[in-house]
Amino acid sequence: MLCACGGLTDLSGDDAGDAAVDVIAHRDASVVDVGPPPYQTLGTVCTPPDAAAPLPWVPGDAGAAIRPPIMQSSGGPVVANPIFVPMTFDVDDLRAPIEDFVASVGCTTYWNSIVPDYGIGDAISGPTVHMSDTAPATIDDTAIGPFINAKIAAQQAPAFIPNQTVYVIFYPDGTDVTLQGQHSCQSFGGYHAEYEMGDGTKVPYAVIPRCENFGMLYGIDAVTAVTSHELLEASTDPLPETNPAYQLPEPNGLAWVLSTGGGGEIGDMCEFNNNAFFMPTDYFFYVQHAWTSHAAFLAQDPCQPSMDTYFGAAPTLPDSIPFTLFMGMETTQGITLNIGDQKTISLQLIAGGPWGNTITVEARDAAYYMGGKANLTFSLPTTQGNVGDTLQLTVTRVGTNSEFGLEPFALVATSMGYTFSWWALVGDP
């Protein structure tokens, strides 16, 4: 399921589904009571920050020789101290916990383990918007921006503050949101976008449909997990269509982008992990891990916050592959193969900290996650090793992607119940 302007979230696979069940088994069902009032607030309301937002992180000289990609700014703005304005309909029985979450998430240790990399500090909630309108049975994204604008013009929503306000509209159960011909809860679970007001001002907003479930999450857990993804991305890439900021990793991270179905923002880059959604130990709402460049630079777990030792099977990619998907002609590292050809590459087992356990490695074509016909086959005679060992992987190309000619594949490393994936790419010579 898509978090649009973001990438695939697919918890139907074996690894992800099992992990989601394990996490939810630890929730006390009495923690979140969304029944009749009074609702008991769970979060601590964030207050306006008393200090400027941090400067964006920049790479130093002590990065790891082998590492995941870091995010790359395209030059657009971020929302340094966001004001999130939650907009809910009167029929929404989850209004109270939604507003609790929006008011409290922006000053948590969770939030601040991710956003400083991108020059962002604490976030607060703006005035809440309670709408007595009848929630539509269906609404297309082209109508949502004008709807928000009409609420602002009628003074039923707070005025837009440039570089601060992000409107977050929550649709209740029974509303089908459509986006570029796709339907909510079928193709996507949420998205963020921008709307141009009559004076040319660009207004960022996020849309959270109400889905029965999101993977193995239900009710308010599903809502806050999706919302955390969109709040992070609306802050780090508020104008994704006209002036993108942190929308993509460096060119050598193209395989990670294609693995998510084309989403390269900081939430998208972590969606395929089997621990993508979690409840922090000091916060009573489900949220999603997100990509942090400083951790990737040090070959630590880039999907923060993380208490796990990061390990992986890092490929030695011998070839340069040209591509023109996003910002004009660029190149990325990978393997060039014609259909029917094969190459053998080395996989180095690495870790971002002490790890003395055996690591098992499996190569998977992206079709394993996305469905469709596999274009790659793999031979990995030795599937296990320890940190510092090198394995040999033979990749054979048996088909091609007719649109781009680029075939992503995952190198899935598993040890002691933990799983981390490293993405690579096959392209045309």
DSSP string of 272-291, one letter each residue = TSTT-EE--TT-SS-EE-EE
- Cα 48 from Cα 254, distance rounded (Å): 37
CA 367 centroid distance within chain: 20
pTM of the shown model: 0.90
For residue 7, is pLDDT > 70?
Answer: no
List the chain domain ranges. 2-297, 309-427
Q: Average pLDDT of the chain? A: 89
Give the mean model confidence (pLDDT) for residues 173-189: 95
CA 415 centroid distance within chain: 24
pLDDT 10s digits, 333-382: 999 999 999 999 999 999 988 999 999 999 999 888 877 889 999 999 99
Give the mean model confidence (pLDDT) for residues 46-67: 92
- Cα 140 from Cα 107, distance rounded (Å): 33
Indicate the fold that domain 309-427 takes in CATH.
Immunoglobulin-like (2.60.40)
pLDDT of residue 279: 96
pLDDT of residue 373: 87
Identify whether the C-beta of residue 165 lies closer than 8 Å to the C-beta of residue 126: yes
- Cα 24 from Cα 382, distance rounded (Å): 35
**Three-state secondary structure call for residue 359:** strand
Buried (b) or exposed (e) across 383-416, using 16+ Cβ within 10 A? eebebebebebebbbbbbbeeeebbbbbbbbbbe
Helices (H), 120-245: 141-153, 219-236
Pairing of strands 188-196, 202-208: antiparallel
pLDDT 10s digits, 137-153: 999 999 999 999 999 99
pLDDT of residue 35: 58
Give the mean model confidence (pLDDT) for residues 131-137: 97
